[in-house]
Structure 1
């Protein structure tokens, strides 16, 4: 995930409530299994556990 710092990616995420969501995030930092990012749907900072990211890919042609 380090390679995505400063980039926008799309993730499939397993939330703590057991729900699976799809999000576009701008990765700010990755440390100790935690990703700090801005969720573009909510336009707010969020924290994601690396172990709960089921899939990730860069977004094509999308700028934040």
Structure 2
């Protein structure tokens, strides 16, 4: 689902390990072994996301 967005800014709907959902703007860098690494604009730092907990991905044109 996310492979075609590598290198692009996207908005994701993500469930963390505690079951909380969030919407985040992320610049995706790579995907390997079910993990997706990218720069999270909300946290202002690099993050690793479990691909199985990403429920939606959509391209974004402008980062706020």
Name the residue aligned to 2:3: 2
In structure 2, the gaps of 5 or more residues are none
Name the residue aligned to 1:31: 32
RMSD: 1.4
In structure 1, the gaps of 5 or more residues are none
| TM-score for the superposition, normalised by structure 2 | 0.90
Does the CA contact (< 8 Å) of 2:25 and 2:63 recur in 1? Answer: no
Moved over 6 A (4+): none
Give the whole-Å Cα distance in 2 for the aligned partners of 1:27 and 1:10.
10
- SS of the equivalent of 1:51 reads helix
Task: After TM superposition, give the deviation of residue 21 of structure 1 in Å.
Answer: 0.5
Give the whole-Å Cα distance in 1 for the aligned partners of 2:43 and 2:63.
15
Alignment length, in residue pairs? 63
Give the whole-Å Cα distance in 2 for the aligned partners of 1:44 and 1:38.
6
Task: After TM superposition, give the deviation of residue 26 of structure 1 in Å.
Answer: 0.3
